[in-house]
Amino acid sequence: MPMDDRCVQCGKFYPSVLGLFVRSVPFCKHCLQKAYEEIHVSEYKGYPLYYLHTYNEENMGQLISLKGNGEKWYKDLLIHPKIRQALHKRFKDHTFVYMPSHREDDEERGFKHLPVLFENITRNEVYPLYKKVRYKQSKYTKQDRVHVRERLGVDEELKNTLRNKKVVLVDDVMSSGATLEAARELLELVDVELLVCLYNEEKRGVEL
């Protein structure tokens, strides 16, 4: 984490007293306030959908800094500390199932980015899903995405631990919803909630 008093988002210096106060969050007050949004509540194919931001170039850049460059502190711009507290109150007793990243991607960055992004929200996490092949969902066409289920695998033993639990499927970005829907089908979940950081409203309702 940067150790000076310069905000890593806007580059401006902020007072040292504030720097000491928020040393674990290396952003100025203005950038933190700008990042604050209420939790948005919608639905996807009849399932409750909670999202934190509408997708744009700025917040996507922050996500890339986190997952691509290892700059974990961007989690506090993508999920404001106060919003994180509210999410914890809502989901602390739920079981989070994160959409999988490929093992090689996790090894290259040195961590799984979704548990970092959504840390301190739930007490329970299960990892039954995995990617069979290394791919980026954004590079696939609408027609290709219909086959996303074929590129995901499931650990049956871990899948069975989800029975009778309040499950939340979690992802960083949702556009068409193909990954979340494939995960729900593979896990055979009937009653489930969805939580994403960035939501691309322009692709809402795209049927695959």
Rounded to 5 degrees, φ, ψ at 14 are -120, 155
Structure-block tokens of residue 76: 């506090």
Whether 189 has a pLDDT exceeding 50, the answer reads yes
62, exposed or middle or buried, with CB in 10 Å at 0-12, 13-18, 19+?
buried
CATH architecture observed for domain 38-203: 3-Layer(aba) Sandwich (3.40)
Q: Hey, what amino acid is at 56?
A: N
Please state, as a whole number, how many other Cβ atoms lie within 10 Å of the Cβ of residue 196.
25
- For 138-183, how does the pLDDT look when each residue is reduced to its tens digit (9 = 90+)? 555 555 555 788 889 999 999 999 999 999 999 999 988 999 999 9
Instruction: Kindly report the average pLDDT of the chain as a whole number.
Output: 85
Whether 208 has a pLDDT exceeding 50, the answer reads no
Strands 152-154 and 129-131: antiparallel
Q: Contact 97/133 with Cβ under 8 angstroms?
A: no
- For 85-129, how does the pLDDT look when each residue is reduced to its tens digit (9 = 90+)? 999 999 999 999 999 988 888 888 899 999 999 999 999 999 999
d(CA 127, CA 95) in angstroms, rounded, equals: 10
CA neighbours within 13 Å on the CB side: how many for 53? 23
d(CA 182, CA 186) in angstroms, rounded, equals: 6
State the pLDDT at residue 207. Answer: 34
Whether 58 has a pLDDT exceeding 60, the answer reads yes
Residue intervals in the chain for CATH 3.40.50: 38-203
pTM for the model = 0.84
Structure-block tokens of residue 18: 């504030």
d(CA 132, CA 155) in angstroms, rounded, equals: 12
